[in-house]
Amino acid sequence: MIKCVDLFCGAGGLSHGLMKEGIEILAGFDIDESCRYPYEKNNHASFYNQDVSTLKGEDINRIFGNGGVKLLAGCAPCQPFSTYSHRYGKDTTGKWALMYQFSRLVHESDPDLITMENVSSVIRHEVFSDFVADIKKLGYQTWFDVVDCSQYGVPQARKRLVFLASKFGEISLIKPSSKNPVTVREAIGSLPVISAGETHIKDKLHTSASLSKLNLERIKHSKPGGTWRDWPEHLVAACHRQESGKSFPSVYGRMEWDKPSPTMTTQCYGFGNGRFGHPEQNRAISLREAAILQSFPKTYKFIDNTKPIEMTNLGRLIGNAVPVGLGKAIGKSLKRHMANL
């Protein structure tokens, strides 16, 4: 049995995918307390609200206990490596330090298997090269590549770096499961119709942000896959009239039914934040739709029903998550690896 401790676990996307493939999830660590409810409710594991810099290998091994194959998983927050950041030097004191902390915990806990997911651009940073070299020095066989999540059952165009390591020999991610990506229509086309600013009575997460009168007019004139250039002149935003705004055609865009969605971000619930308009209804996608496009099950619980919906917080949990479908692909790869020994 493979047993997993998940660092930087978030709302549990990676853990849930691994769990679906039969890996026992023991615990997740994250500094965001709002991750506790979704993580524990859906993954039958303990959540620790703790900074990994204060965590010790002996703490992890106490959770692992005796027996089984130890998997240390994690996704160090990606903001330092995003295309919006141009800090390419080494920084071992700020958020860059999180990957070095991950490396330290590998040294101290000595797991059998390791997996990490991150934004694709991390591959060109020194901190990642250091991480890989350090893991290799410990005797692990390693594999990493940038993969398209839409090839692994995720209804979303999302490129991510996947890293795998094993003490037992060569390891790699399984080949893509399908040449025909799941489309937006297949993923969310059957959900009940709601209006902007409305919450469905049977699913609290199926709630859509309200729209101003101006943005309601804009979305009515937006075509699936189109741009703000489709609008009448009086609806075009001032920023788009400037030279710098002409390179952002996807802002205020609608998704297309018969393609995967664009990459979900922490602001995926906002019509003006990207191509996050519903393909047909005059609103931005709901939080539930965003979660489904991240390949979370339709029944995944993100908040207690007694709690109010906080769009910003829940958007962050959903947008930052590892897609469950990618987690399943990693889980299948690890299971296959162990079966072939």
| C-alpha to C-alpha distances, 6 to 64, 111, 210, 241, 341, nearest whole angstrom | 11, 12, 35, 46, 24
Q: Which of 339, 307, 328 is nearest to 41 (CA)?
A: 307
d(CA 122, CA 52): 20
The residues near 180 (Cβ < 8 Å, ≥ 6 apart) are: none
d(CA 226, CA 254): 7
Q: Is 4 a catalytic residue?
A: no
Q: Across-strand partners of 47?
A: 28
CA 150 to chain centre: 13
d(CA 314, CA 203): 14
As a dihedral over the C-alpha atoms of residue 270, residue 275, residue 280, residue 286, rounded to 10 degrees, the angle is -30
Angle CA 176–287–182, to nearest 5: 25
- Burial letters for 241-277: b for 16+ Cβ neighbours within 10 Å, e otherwise? eeeeeeeeeebbbbbbbebbbbbbbbbbbbbbbbbbb
d(CA 212, CA 195): 13
Catalytic hit among 4, 9, 75, 78: 78
Amino acid at 155: P
The residues near 297 (Cβ < 8 Å, ≥ 6 apart) are: 16, 324
| C-alpha to C-alpha distances, 150 to 243, 263, 331, nearest whole angstrom | 33, 10, 17
The residues near 135 (Cβ < 8 Å, ≥ 6 apart) are: 103, 106, 114, 142, 165
Q: Which residues are catalytic?
A: 78
